[in-house]
Amino acid sequence: MSSFCRGFTNALHPQSLRLPSSIRAAVFAVRPQLVHSRADARFFSPSTFHRAQPTRRAPPPRSARTLHKTDPVLRTLNETRQPILLYQAPFRLWYTLMVYGFASGCTAGGLWIFKFASELPKDLPFFVEPTYWVVSAMVIGSGAYAFTAPAMRCSSLELLPAYVMGGPIRVRIRARVAPMMKEKVIVANIGQVTMSEKTVPMIRELQEAERARRQDVSEGLRGMFILRRGWEIAARLLEQKWTSFFCYFKFAVLRFGVSKIHVNGEKWKIDCSESLLENGQAIDRFISVDEDV
């Protein structure tokens, strides 16, 4: 029996079969076996896996009736059935005169530079005349850009009740294409009106800039040595004036603090420094934001 077992073992040895190396490697190679317990296989079965997933319940949608009861503006609108003013910008005469005066001055200055450039002597270097042309175009462009500041401005924005109970809320917009033109009245459903950006972040930045401009530069310096106190006050005053100039430049040139209302294919400007209900929170709740405006 032992001799039979030994002969059988030798017959199965790789060296005794004289097979090619590739076949011997494929037949006699040790293959790793992955052992899975029945518990693991049972855990990853489809039914058990679905049971193991945490169930998430979506919050119940808020009905229009619940929204009307919780929102103070809508509740007042339903009770009184009277228009609610969300935004109002009174006509500012001095601002309009200053803007148009600056724009007219820039335009006149650019035209004067243009005239002066056409009368230059011919023996000047070649780059002098193009420089005058470029400066003239820049000054005239600044004037034209300033002319557009008071244009297409929204005078007021009101929330109107629906025609029928349960219908869409309406918005009434009063705007002027130019300060000297007649006021235009637009009435549309609330879903047809969008704006370029929220007003609350801009209002907060405007308020912070105004607070920094009015801040007392001598605050917290009592009891300090007089020379050091004077130096600190001078440094704070310089920083305050420079920051105020930068903010004014940013607000005027980049038109910061202005959100655009888009309705019926037209865009109207809303100045966030004017009077807004709830500091802009009301208009941000009712009008959605469209970044393409």
Q: What angle do CA 136, 137, 138 make, to 5 degrees?
A: 90
- Dist CA 293 CA 259 (whole Å): 9
CA–centroid distance for 118 within its chain:
46
Using the predicted structure, report yes or no on whether residue 280 has a pLDDT greater than 50: yes
What mean pLDDT value characterizes the chain? 80
The tokens for 218 are 């001598």
The string of pLDDT tens digits covering residues 216-226 is: 888 888 888 88
Looking at residue 122, what is its pLDDT? 83
- Stated pTM of the model: 0.67
Q: Which residues contact 69 (CB under 8 A, 6 or more apart)?
A: 75
The string of pLDDT tens digits covering residues 110-139 is: 999 999 888 888 888 888 889 999 999 999
Q: What angle do CA 193, 164, 76 make, to 5 degrees?
A: 70
The string of pLDDT tens digits covering residues 31-82 is: 444 444 444 434 444 444 344 444 455 444 444 455 556 788 988 988 888 9
**DSSP-derived secondary structure letter, 287:** S
- Dist CA 61 CA 280 (whole Å): 25
Strands 194-195 and 184-189: unpaired
